[in-house]
């Protein structure tokens, strides 16, 4: 038998119920004791009147420490002033396990302290709301691609070579075969999948040994990567904007309660509808110059540059055709200007920066081989990838969306560390 959940209490008004959970908070006023129960689905105020319950129960209600696991019994009442809108006129109280000196109290704590206690911090209302939104985004991502005829394809995590540049690889010894690396991206394998199935997506953890200690960088993060055969850069951008609209609008519709817990002002999120503005890298550079930023053509956009560019728009903006020099080896060059890569980055509004990076892929065997050599990549490790250009090469494109950056943006958080249950960053690999 499932326990009755706080989220379902509307079905039990006027009835006596028993619920299980943890003591979130408590307060007293003379002959009344208020216990706030949390059960992972919501909060419920349980009211114990001294005269209505046994002395034993009242004494217990007065003694229990924060986060004690308990079972409460009582009658469900509508109470608009209580969190969640219901209240329990409580009569029974049983302890499952007492807790004392819970380290996270309702007072303010520093972020490092909370991150050290991440395994407990997850129990707070705000963290619960973030995890629920993350889950909804994951499901929206899957629903979107599944509904559009994409096949989910799981790429390997242990790989023989770099995808996004050699400077951010996590290395490991691999038996007699020498070095192996944790994947930076499933893309190269997704390309093989697209040649087999037409439209695929990968969705899983990816790793970057980033030296960057910013609010946007994790060393382990989740990425979803669609890859489509016969798609060119414009098709890729069409897909990205349709996909983003779906995700954001789905979360707004289904997770309004959680967004309220996070006090997220959703006005800017409401704007995330097709079409999204598309500007070239050259136009982005113009915007930077107009805003008094010293920026040299040819550089990649930094975090601040991205913020300045995206502040010109009330929606995410797609910046396409970056200098090939600052982009990955596999990107196709613009036939109209070989200095440019047929790349696109989607920058989120409100200072959240790049959430999507994508491109049309180099589909010509000779050009791809020369790129591999220019980038000093080991050709042998890429022979299988070159095979995709040897045997029936076609134009194809895809992109990667970073899950944690997307969660941070939608939830309005100022750091990605709260968007994943247990963040891995340059200075943290615990708990």
User: Which residues would be at the binding site for ligand 4AD (CB under 6 A)?
Assistant: 163-164, 185, 187, 208, 210, 217-218, 221, 223, 225, 354-359, 398-400, 402, 404-405, 416
Locate all alpha helices (DSSP H) within 96-232, ordered by sequence. 111-116, 118-121, 125-147, 187-197
**Least CB distance to ligand 4AD at residue 402 (A):** 2
Distances in Å between the Cα of 264 and the Cα atoms of 83, 162, 258, 331, 410 are 18, 38, 9, 37, 8
**Least CB distance to ligand 4AD at residue 77 (A):** 46
The two tokens of residue 100 are 């004392």
**Least CB distance to ligand 4AD at residue 142 (A):** 17
Number of residues that bind Mg ion (CB under 5 A): 1
Cα–Cα dist 105/123, whole Å: 12
Looking at the Cβ atoms of 223 and 228, the one nearer to Mg ion is 223
**Least CB distance to ligand 4AD at residue 398 (A):** 5
Instruction: Name which of ligand 4AD, Mg ion, none residue 320 binds, using a CB cut-off of 5 to 8 Å depending on partner kind.
Output: none
Extract the runs of DSSP E, i.e. beta strands, from 127-274. 151-152, 158-159, 171-173, 179-182, 199-207, 220-229
Looking at the Cβ atoms of 323 and 402, the one nearer to ligand 4AD is 402
Contact call for residue 357 and Mg ion (CB under 5 A): yes
Cα–Cα dist 238/243, whole Å: 9
Q: What's the distance, CA 129 to chain centroid? A: 13
Contact call for residue 323 and Mg ion (CB under 5 A): no
Residue 300 per-residue DSSP state = P
**Least CB distance to ligand 4AD at residue 343 (A):** 9
Looking at the Cβ atoms of 35 and 403, the one nearer to Mg ion is 403
Phi, psi of 17, rounded to the nearest 5 degrees: -135, 160
**Least CB distance to ligand 4AD at residue 431 (A):** 20
**Least CB distance to Mg ion at residue 343 (A):** 8
SS3 344: strand
Q: Among the candidate windows 38-46, 154-162, 218-226, 350-358, which touches Mg ion by CB under 5 A?
A: 350-358
Looking at the Cβ atoms of 231 and 259, the one nearer to ligand 4AD is 231
Q: Among the candidate windows 79-87, 198-206, 355-363, 366-374, which touches Mg ion by CB under 5 A?
A: 355-363
Cα–Cα dist 147/130, whole Å: 25
Order the strands of the 179-182 sheet from edge to edge: 158-159, 179-182, 171-173
Looking at the Cβ atoms of 68 and 359, the one nearer to ligand 4AD is 359
Looking at the Cβ atoms of 287 and 408, the one nearer to ligand 4AD is 408
Cα–Cα dist 63/90, whole Å: 16
Using the CB atoms, write b or e for 154-167: b if 16+ within 10 Å. Answer: ebeeebbbbbbeee
Looking at the Cβ atoms of 21 and 400, the one nearer to ligand 4AD is 400
Rule CB under 5 A: which residues touch Mg ion?
A: 357
């Amino acid at each position: 038998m499932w326990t009755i959940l706080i989220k379902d209490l509307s079905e039990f008004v006027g009835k006596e119920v028993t619920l299980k959970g943890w003591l979130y908070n408590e307060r007293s006023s003379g002959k009344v004791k208020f216990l706030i129960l949390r059960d992972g689905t919501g909060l419920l105020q349980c009211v114990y009147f001294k005269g209505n319950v046994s002395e034993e129960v009242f004494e217990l209600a007065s003694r229990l420490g924060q986060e004690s696991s308990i079972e409460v019994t009582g009658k469900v009442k509508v109470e608009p002033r209580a969190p969640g809108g219901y209240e329990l006129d409580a009569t029974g109280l049983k302890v499952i396990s007492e807790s004392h000196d819970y380290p996270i109290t309702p007072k303010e704590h520093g972020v490092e302290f909370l991150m050290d206690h991440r395994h407990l911090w997850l129990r707070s209302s705000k963290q619960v709301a973030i995890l629920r939104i993350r889950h909804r985004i994951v499901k929206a991502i899957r629903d979107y691609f599944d509904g559009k005829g994409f096949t989910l394809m799981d790429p390997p995590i242990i790989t023989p070579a770099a995808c996004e540049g050699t400077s951010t690889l996590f290395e490991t010894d691999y038996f007699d075969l020498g070095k192996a690396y944790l994947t930076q991206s499933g893309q190269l394998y997704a390309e093989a999948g697209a040649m087999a199935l037409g439209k695929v997506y990968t969705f899983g953890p990816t790793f970057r040994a980033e030296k960057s200690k910013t609010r946007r960088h994790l060393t382990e993060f989740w990425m979803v990567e669609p890859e489509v055969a016969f798609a060119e850069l414009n098709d890729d951008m069409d897909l990205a904007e349709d996909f983003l609209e779906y995700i954001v609008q789905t979360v707004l519709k289904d997770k309004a309660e959680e967004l309220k817990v996070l006090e997220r002002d959703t006005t800017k999120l409401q704007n995330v509808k097709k079409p999204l503005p598309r500007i070239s890298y050259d136009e982005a550079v113009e915007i930077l110059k107009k805003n008094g930023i010293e920026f040299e053509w040819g550089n990649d956009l930094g975090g601040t540059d991205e913020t300045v560019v995206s502040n010109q728009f009330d929606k995410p903006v797609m910046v396409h055709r970056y200098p090939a020099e600052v982009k990955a080896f596999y990107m196709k060059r613009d036939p109209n200007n070989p200095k440019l890569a047929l790349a696109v980055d989607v920058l989120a509004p409100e200072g959240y920066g790049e959430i999507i990076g994508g491109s049309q892929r180099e589909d010509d065997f000779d050009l791809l081989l020369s790129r591999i050599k220019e980038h000093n990549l080991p050709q042998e490790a890429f022979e299988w990838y070159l095979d995709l250009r040897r045997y029936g090469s076609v134009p194809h494109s895809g992109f990667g969306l970073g899950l944690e950056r997307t969660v941070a943006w939608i939830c309005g958080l100022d750091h990605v560390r709260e968007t994943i249950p247990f963040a891995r960053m340059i200075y943290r690999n615990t708990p």
